[in-house]
Structure 1
Amino acid sequence: MRRIQTGNALSAFGLGFTVPYLYVYVAQVRDLGAATAGIVLAVFAMAALVALPFTGRIIDRRGPLPVLLGAAVLASAGAASMGLAGSVPAVVLSAALLGAGTAVMQPALATMIVWCSDTSTRTRAFATQFFLQNLGLGIGGLIGGHIVDESRPGSFTLLFGIEAVMFLVLAGIVCSVRLPRALSIKDAMPENTEAKAKGGMRALLGNRAMVQLCVLGFVLFFACYGQFESGLAAYGTEAVGIEPSTLGTALAANTAVIVVAQFVVLRFVERRRRSRVIAAVGLIWAVAWIAAGYAGLGHGSQAMATAAFISTYALFGLGEAMLSPTVAPLVADLAPESMVGQYNAAFALVKQLALAVGPAVGGPMGAALHGPYIATFVLFSLGITVLALRLGKQLTPVQNQPSLAAKSRVVAQHKPAERAEPAAV
C-alpha cells in the first residue's frame, strides 16, 4: 500500500507541473491559437471518455497491475511528445495519449488500493490517496509556476519532460509491488456465475445502489470540479471583479484546506454513516455557493467580496476532504469481487462526463447569467443532500457505516473467551 500511495503522489506531482499551463502552452507558447487550445482540452477529456468503458473489464480479467503499467507508459509518451509538439496534429495526438493514459490510471490505482485493504482500512486508504494527490498537485503547480516562462518554449519542454519521467517512476514503483497471497488475482476474482450470466454492464445497471451512487457522483462532480476552472472562474472575474491572479489564491486555499483538514475530518467521518456525510457535503457546498453569490451580487467592499469568493473555494475543499474517504470506498464495497475494476471504471467515466458537461454549462452561465448561475448551483448542492439520503436507504448497515463491521468482529472475538472461562474452571 505504501508503494502504491508513493507512486500515486509522484504522478500527481508530475501532473501538477503541466495541467495549469496546458492552455497557455498551446495557445501562446506554440502560437497555435485559442481555438486549437480549446480543441486540445476537449480531446484530453474525450480520450478519457473513449478509453474508460473498456478499462474495467480488462482490469477484472488481467488485473490492475498490467493496466496501470500500460497507462503510465502511454501517459509518459503523451507528456514527452506534448513538450516537443509544434503543430496542430502533434499537440492533438499528444493530448489524446496523455488524456487516455491519466484517465485509465484512476480505476487501476483504485482497484489496487481495494486489493490491499479491507472494509475497516479502506476508508483511511482512500483518504490518504486523495491527500497525497492534492499535495502532489499543489507542490507540482507551485514549482512549475517558478519554472515556466512564456518567452522560453524550452521551459515548458522541461515541465512536460519532468511529467513524463514521473509517470515512468510510477510504473517502476508498481512493478515492485507484490500483492498479498490472500489478495492475488485468483483469490480476488472468484467465479461469479450470476455476473457472467447477466454480463458486466447489465449486472452493474441492475445494482440500484450503484446506479443511484453514479447519479449522485455526476451531480457532485458537476457542481464542484466541473465549475472550478470554467463557470466559477468566469463568474469571479466578471461578477466579482477579481484579478486572474486571485484565482490562483482561491485554488491554493482549496488545496490548503484539503491538506490541513483531511485527517482531522477523517476521524469525524469514520464513525458516521456515509450517506449522512455526503448529505452534509451538499449543505456545506450550498453555503459555499451562497458565499459566491454574496461576493458577486452583494453590496460589500471589494475586499469583502474577494474574501467571500476565496472562502467559496475553501468550503469546497472541506467538502472534498469529507468525500474522499466516503465515495470511492463505497464504490468498492458495492462491487462484487469479480467486478471491482468495472465498478471503479464506471464511476471514473461518470466523473469524466461531469467534468466535460460542467464547463460547457457553467462557463456561459458564470460569465453572463450571474444570478441564475448561483441559484442553479445552490439547488444542485441541495440536490446532493436529497440524493445522498435516498442512497442511504439502498445501503446495508455495513456499507453505510463500515465501522460496524469492526465492532462486530471485536464482539465475535470476545464472546468465545467469555464462554470458555467458566468451562475451564
Structure 2
Amino acid sequence: MTRAMGAAMRRIQAGNALSAFGLGFTVPYLYVYVAQVRDLGASTAGAVLAVFALAALVVLPFTGRVIDRRGPLPVLVGGAVLASVGALAMGLSGSVPTAVLSAALLGAGTAVMQPALATMIVWCSTPATRTRAFATQFFLANLGLGVGGLIGGQLVDESRPGSFLLLFCVEAAMFLVLAAVAGTVRMPRPADTGTTGTTGTTGVEASGVEASGRPGLRSMLRHRAMVQLCVLGFVVFFACYGQFESGLAAYGTEAAGIDPSTLGIALAANTAVIVIAQFVVLRLVEPLRRSRVIAAVGLIWAVAWLIAGYAGLGEGGRTMATAAFISTYALFGLGEAMLSPTVAPLVADLAPPSMIGQYNSGFALVKQLALAVGPAVGGPMGASLHGPYIVTFVLFSLSITVLALRLGRRLTPVQDRPSLLSASRVVARHTPEAAGSESPEALASPAR
C-alpha cells in the first residue's frame, strides 16, 4: 500500500466511524419516536421502517453503475448529504406524510453509502491489506453504533420530543461530517484487485463477465461464483441480522420470558464481543481459507440457536434463560467478527476491475432483501411457533456451512486464501528461480 492510499484509507475509516456514531443515536429509538413520541401509531411506525428498507431496494440497483462510471467519492458525498436531510426532516416530522418521506430519504442515502464506502476501501487497498481494511471498517462501525446508542440512551426522554430532535440533529451532523471528510480524500487510481476479476474463478468465466458487452446485472449473474456468494450472503443476513430485533427478540420475550430490557443488554453483549474480539479473530483467520472460516461461522451460529432453544425451555429458571439468551447474541457477535474479514473482501476479489461498484451494490441489495424478508418471516414464527422457529434457523445456520464449502470449490487458491499472494511475492523476491515454487498463474487457477 502506498502512502497516498494509506492516508486516504485513514480518512475513509474515520468518516465511516463518525457516521456510524450518528446512526447509533437514532436507530434503537426510531420505532418509539414515530409511534409514541410523535403519537402517529404503531402502524405508521411499521410503515416508516418498511419505507426505510424499500428505499434501499429502489436505489441500489442503479448505484453500482454510477459508482463505476463516476467513481465512489461523489456517490458517497451525495448519499451522505441525502441521509443528512432525511435525518433532520425525521426529527422535525409531525405527520404521517413527512415521516414517510423522511424515512425514504434517510433509507436511500444510507443505502447508497454502503457500496460507495466499500468501493473506496477496495480502491485504497491491495489484496494483501484488504482483509484487515474491511475488518477495521466493521470494528469501527460497531464501535460507533455502540457508543452512539449508549450516549443517545442518556439523552433521550419520551416525554420531551425535543430530546429526539437533538438525536436526529446529531445524526444529520455526522453525515455531513462524513461528506466533508470524504471530500478531502484524494482517491488513488483503482488498485488492481489482484486476486480477481480478470482471471476470476475460472479465467474464462471472469474475463467473459467483462467482455460480454455492457457490464451490468446480467453479466454479474453469469459469474457463478458471485451468484453462489450472493445466495450464501442472503442466508447469512436472513439467519442473523434479519432476526436480531424481530424474530429472536419476540422468541426471547414470549418463549423464554426474557424481560424486554434484557434485549438491550444482549445487543450490548453482541457489540462488545465484536469490539473486543475483532482483531484477535482477524489474526487467527487471516492465514486460513475464507470458505472454511465462513463454514465455521455456520456451525457457531447453529450452536447459538440451540442455546436460544434451551433458553426457551425454561428448565433452568429465569436467570439461566437470561444468561443463555445473552450468550446467543454473544456467539452471533463472534461469528460476525469472523465474517467481516472474509465476505466483503471476497466480493471485491471476485469483481472485474470495471465492475467493483456493481458487485458491491449487488451484494448490498442481497443484504437489504434478507433484512426485509427476515423480520417478516421470523417475527411471527418467533412469537408463536417457538419450536419450529429454532429448528428452522438451526438448519439455516448449517446451510451456511454447506454453501460456504461449495463456494470454496469455485474460488482460486488466492481468492480463498489471500495470504498465499503475499507468500508468493516473498518467494519471488528472494528466490526467483527456486524450483517447484508456484507461479502467479498457478495461484490464479481454480482449486482442483
Give the TM bin, normalised by the shorter chain.
over 0.9
Report what 1:336 is aligned to: 352
CA distance in structure 1 between the partners assigned to 2:75 and 2:101 by the alignment: 21
Structure 1 unaligned segments of length 5 or more: list them: 420-425
Alpha-carbon distance change, 71 to 240 in structure 1, aligned in 2, over 3 angstroms: same
Report what 2:114 is aligned to: 106
Report what 2:326 is aligned to: 310
What whole-Å deviation, never above 9, does each CA across 1:267-287 have from its counterpart, x for those lacking one?
111000000000000000000
Code of the aligned partner of 2:363: F
Residue 276 of structure 1 pairs with residue 284 of structure 2 = no
Code of the aligned partner of 2:102: S
Asked if the contact 1:82/1:94 (under 8 Å) is kept, the reply is: yes
Report what 1:143 is aligned to: 151
Report what 2:396 is aligned to: 380
Kindly state the Cα deviation for residue 180 of structure 1 after the two structures are TM-superposed.
2.6
Kindly state the Cα deviation for residue 415 of structure 1 after the two structures are TM-superposed.
1.8
What whole-Å deviation, never above 9, does each CA across 1:61-84 have from its counterpart, x for those lacking one?
000000001000000000000000
CA distance in structure 2 between the partners assigned to 1:37 and 1:146 by the alignment: 23
What RMSD over aligned residues (CA atoms) do the two structures have, in Å?
1.8
CA distance in structure 2 between the partners assigned to 1:416 and 1:163 by the alignment: 54
Alpha-carbon distance change, 193 to 36 in structure 1, aligned in 2, over 3 angstroms: closer
Code of the aligned partner of 1:364: P
Report what 2:310 is aligned to: 294
Asked if the contact 2:91/2:165 (under 8 Å) is kept, the reply is: yes
Count of equivalent residues: 416
Asked if the contact 2:209/2:215 (under 8 Å) is kept, the reply is: no
CA distance in structure 1 between the partners assigned to 2:274 and 2:339 by the alignment: 11
Kindly state the Cα deviation for residue 297 of structure 1 after the two structures are TM-superposed.
1.8
What whole-Å deviation, never above 9, does each CA across 1:166-224 have from its counterpart, x for those lacking one?
0000000001101235659xxxx999994451641121011110000000000000000
Asked if the contact 2:298/2:397 (under 8 Å) is kept, the reply is: yes
CA distance in structure 2 between the partners assigned to 1:264 and 1:371 by the alignment: 35
CA distance in structure 1 between the partners assigned to 2:357 and 2:330 by the alignment: 32
What whole-Å deviation, never above 9, does each CA across 1:81-100 have from its counterpart, x for those lacking one?
00001000000000000000
Match of 2:100 among 89, 92, 97: 92
Alpha-carbon distance change, 182 to 225 in structure 1, aligned in 2, over 3 angstroms: closer
Asked if the contact 2:209/2:352 (under 8 Å) is kept, the reply is: no
Structure 2 unaligned segments of length 5 or more: list them: 1-8, 199-206, 436-448
CA distance in structure 2 between the partners assigned to 1:181 and 1:395 by the alignment: 26
Asked if the contact 1:17/1:140 (under 8 Å) is kept, the reply is: yes
Asked if the contact 1:297/1:371 (under 8 Å) is kept, the reply is: no
Residue 46 of structure 1 pairs with residue 62 of structure 2 = no
What whole-Å deviation, never above 9, does each CA across 1:102-158 have from its counterpart, x for those lacking one?
011000000000000011000000000000000000000000000000100000000
State the TM-score, normalizing by the size of structure 2: 0.91
Residue 368 of structure 1 pairs with residue 384 of structure 2 = yes
Code of the aligned partner of 1:121: T
Match of 1:393 among 396, 400, 409: 409
Residue 245 of structure 1 pairs with residue 272 of structure 2 = no
Code of the aligned partner of 1:219: V
Asked if the contact 1:78/1:98 (under 8 Å) is kept, the reply is: yes
Kindly state the Cα deviation for residue 300 of structure 1 after the two structures are TM-superposed.
1.2
Alpha-carbon distance change, 192 to 4 in structure 1, aligned in 2, over 3 angstroms: farther
Report what 2:187 is aligned to: 179
Alpha-carbon distance change, 209 to 181 in structure 1, aligned in 2, over 3 angstroms: closer
Asked if the contact 1:195/1:203 (under 8 Å) is kept, the reply is: no
CA distance in structure 1 between the partners assigned to 2:132 and 2:210 by the alignment: 31
Match of 1:2 among 7, 10, 27: 10
CA distance in structure 1 between the partners assigned to 2:143 and 2:307 by the alignment: 26
5 Å matches for 1:64-75?
64-75=72-83
CA distance in structure 1 between the partners assigned to 2:229 and 2:93 by the alignment: 40
Match of 2:43 among 27, 35, 39: 35
CA distance in structure 1 between the partners assigned to 2:304 and 2:211 by the alignment: 42
CA distance in structure 2 between the partners assigned to 1:339 and 1:182 by the alignment: 11
Secondary structure of 2:431's counterpart equals helix
